[in-house]
């Protein structure tokens, strides 16, 4: 029997638009619902129960989340006094890591990006927020050549420039912020046109970045979009790629030959995701190949990683003809030819959210599963061998909802997992960090995952590339509300 995925603050963060599930309600109905919600919120505010008291102080608390025999250690809650969602993590070989996400009514009164830089000792060295007057949701993070970071997402805030006022936007507008190695903002911009939703970012060899997403248009079909920015934030090129069906880009990765691989899915006629989608472009944005992949049921690619042999691995979810959703993983050659694919039938309502190159030739998938063994939604991590065989796995959670959204490789066969939790005495929602040392036995498959091989049929696509007139608007740094967070001087609890 298919498990029901119950609603959770962790699933959506702060949604900016109504999902398709409510498309049957007319505008008037939604207006009434909105008025009721706003009135209820005002009542709560007046009685002093609306939100926790915000504070620009970072909290890092050690917690116990599982048996040390499972390979889990150094579990921490990271955040403020409100709602904090962990979304990305990048780590260096010397153990220094940077954590990224966004918070609501936590460090500031609005919803802002946050970034936390750690030293080699694992303790926070700096922490800051970045945002505007209302709401910024983080979608992607990529490193820069000089040790800084590029943050990309969507904004519904008010910004002032020397020439005009950037008003709050519905739907939200893109926002891109470049910060240095200690979190200091260097430049920020938005796109006045087109109305792109950004979901992925990948660095290029010349110090720039390629941002990917899609244009949510009224007409059909929606194209995938890729925009290249220089290291200084100048638009180098921008293109739309029309697959002939609605197409959505969810992630991007730099390839060994200097190109960019893009992962996503197709969705004919605004129906749910139908086929996983992969496309590779060169450093000038010209398509090298583009393919859709079909199996029994539907599948969606949400993350992509490049392997040392130039192959590509994606993860996301698949829904078989029976209607059950499972973690989905696929490996293709550098030319997009399928090598293997499978779903993990043992993970109820599972979803892969992030895939990375692991130690040796392994791969690691981070994600979620609903109705987990701890109750509610749980986070998960799965270690795969080069042939896709699951070697080890861990399910992380408490009595409420938990998720793992990102992972990074550490030394000595270990991995840093990062996500969010409502459990473990979180303030409201806290970012969750934990170190995992997979306990795998050579030649054996991790029990309980029940990997099911999938027959993949590739469908080469004729992609129509068009020049995109990208009107980037530079945002004065004075309009970016960046708050330095207070880092406790005491040791971690």
In the prediction, which pLDDT does 44 show?
A: 39
Angle, CA 267 vertex, CA 263 and CA 271 arms, to 5° = 145
- Sign (positive or negative) of CA dihedral 344, 346, 348, 352: negative
> Cis peptide leading into 457, omega within 30 of 0?
no
Using an 8 Å Cβ cutoff, are 142 and 156 in contact?
Answer: no
Torsion of CA 57, 149, 91, 406, to 10 degrees: 80
Name beta bridge partners: 281.
Answer: 260, 287
Q: pLDDT tens digit string along 280-290?
A: 999 999 999 99
Q: pLDDT tens digit string along 105-121?
A: 999 999 999 999 999 99
Least confident of 33-47, 154-168, 313-327: 33-47
Beta strands in 437-493, from DSSP E residues, in sequence order: 451-453, 457-460, 464-467, 471-475, 481-484
Beta strands in 119-269, from DSSP E residues, in sequence order: 124-131, 136-143, 149-155, 159-160, 165-166, 173-179, 185-193, 197-203, 209-214, 224-229, 235-242, 247-254, 260-266
Burial class (CB in 10 A: 0-12, 13-18, 19+), 379: buried
Token pair for 307: 């392997």
Q: pLDDT tens digit string along 457-475?
A: 898 888 999 999 999 999 9
Residue 413 has pLDDT above 70, yes or no: yes
For 457, the enclosing helix (H) or strand (E) is strand 457-460
Using an 8 Å Cβ cutoff, are 60 and 78 in contact?
Answer: yes
Tell me how far apart the alpha carbons of residues 99 and 91 are, in angstroms, rounded to a whole number.
9
Most confident of 215-224, 262-271, 318-327, 356-365: 356-365
Averaged over 3-29, what is the pLDDT?
A: 39
Tell me how far apart the alpha carbons of residues 451 and 342 are, in angstroms, rounded to a whole number.
6
pLDDT band at 207 (very low <50, low <70, confident <90, very high): very high
| CB neighbours of residue 13 within 10 Å | 18
Torsion of CA 447, 448, 453, 456, to 10 degrees: -130
Quickly tell me which residue has 């970071």 as its tokens. Answer: 149
Q: pLDDT tens digit string along 178-188?
A: 999 999 999 99
Q: What is the pTM of this model?
A: 0.88
Residue 42 has pLDDT above 70, yes or no: no
Length of the chain measured in residues: 493
- Nearest residue to 149 via CA among 123, 110, 188: 188
Q: pLDDT tens digit string along 374-405?
A: 667 999 999 999 999 999 999 998 889 999 99
In the prediction, which pLDDT does 93 show?
A: 83
Q: pLDDT tens digit string along 119-144?
A: 999 999 999 999 999 999 999 999 99
Looking at residue 264, the DSSP 8-state letter turns out to be: E
Token pair for 386: 């080069």
Looking at residue 125, the DSSP 8-state letter turns out to be: E
Phi-psi region of 469 (alpha: psi -120 to 50; beta: other; left: phi over 0): beta
In the prediction, which pLDDT does 143 show?
A: 98
Tell me how far apart the alpha carbons of residues 12 and 437 are, in angstroms, rounded to a whole number.
29
Looking at residue 53, the DSSP 8-state letter turns out to be: P
Tell me how far apart the alpha carbons of residues 52 and 81 are, in angstroms, rounded to a whole number.
6
Name beta bridge partners: 421.
Answer: 402, 430
Please measure the distance between the N-terminal and C-terminal CA atoms of the chain and give it in whole angstroms. Answer: 43
């Amino acid at each position: 029997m298919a498990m029901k995925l119950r609603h959770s603050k962790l699933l959506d963060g702060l949604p900016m638009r109504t999902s398709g599930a409510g498309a049957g309600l007319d505008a008037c109905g939604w207006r009434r619902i909105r008025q009721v919600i706003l009135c209820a919120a005002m009542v709560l505010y007046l009685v002093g129960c609306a939100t926790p008291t915000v504070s620009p102080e970072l909290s890092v608390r050690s917690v116990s989340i599982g048996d040390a025999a499972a390979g889990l250690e150094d579990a921490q809650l990271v955040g403020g006094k409100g709602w904090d969602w962990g979304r990305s993590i990048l780590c260096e070989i010397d153990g220094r890591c940077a954590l990224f996400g966004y918070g609501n009514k936590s460090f500031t009164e609005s919803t802002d990006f946050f970034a936390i830089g750690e030293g080699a000792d694992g303790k926070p060295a700096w922490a800051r927020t970045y945002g505007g007057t209302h709401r910024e949701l983080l979608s992607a993070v990529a490193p820069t050549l000089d040790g800084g970071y590029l943050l990309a997402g969507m904004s519904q805030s008010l910004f002032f420039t020397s020439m005009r006022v950037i008003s709050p936007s519905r739907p939200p507008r893109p926002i891109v912020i470049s910060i240095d190695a200690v979190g200091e903002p260097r430049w920020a911009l938005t796109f006045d046109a087109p109305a792109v939703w950004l979901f992925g970012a990948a660095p290029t060899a010349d110090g720039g970045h390629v941002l990917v997403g899609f244009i949510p248009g009224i007409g059909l079909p929606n194209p995938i979009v890729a925009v290249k920015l220089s290291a200084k934030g100048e638009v180098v090129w921008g293109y739309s790629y029309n697959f002939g069906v609605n197409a959505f880009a969810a992630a991007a990765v730099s390839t060994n030959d200097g190109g960019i691989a893009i992962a996503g899915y197709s969705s004919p006629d605004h129906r749910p995701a139908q086929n996983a989608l992969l496309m590779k472009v060169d450093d000038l944005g010209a398509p090298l190949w583009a393919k859709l992949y079909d199996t029994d049921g539907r599948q969606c690619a949400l993350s992509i990683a490049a392997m040392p042999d130039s192959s590509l691995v994606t993860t996301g979810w698949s829904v078989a003809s029976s209607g059950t959703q499972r973690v989905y993983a696929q490996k293709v050659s550098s030319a997009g030819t399928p090598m293997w694919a499978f779903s993990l039938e043992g993970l109820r309502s599972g979803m892969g959210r992030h895939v990375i190159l692991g130690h040796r030739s392994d791969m690691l998938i981070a994600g979620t599963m609903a109705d987990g063994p701890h109750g509610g939604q749980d986070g998960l991590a799965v270690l795969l061998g080069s042939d896709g065989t699951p070697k080890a796995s861990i399910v992380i959670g408490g009595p409420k909802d938990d998720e793992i959204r990102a992972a990074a490789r550490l030394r000595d066969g270990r991995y840093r997992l990062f996500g969010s939790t409502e459990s473990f005495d979180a303030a409201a929602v806290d970012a969750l960090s934990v170190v995992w040392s997979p306990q795998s036995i050579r030649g054996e498959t991790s029990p309980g995952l029940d990997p099911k091989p999938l027959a993949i049929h590739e469908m080469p696509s004729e992609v129509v590339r068009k020049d995109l007139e990208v009107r980037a608007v530079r945002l004065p740094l004075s309009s970016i509300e960046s708050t330095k967070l207070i880092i406790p001087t005491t040791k971690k609890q």
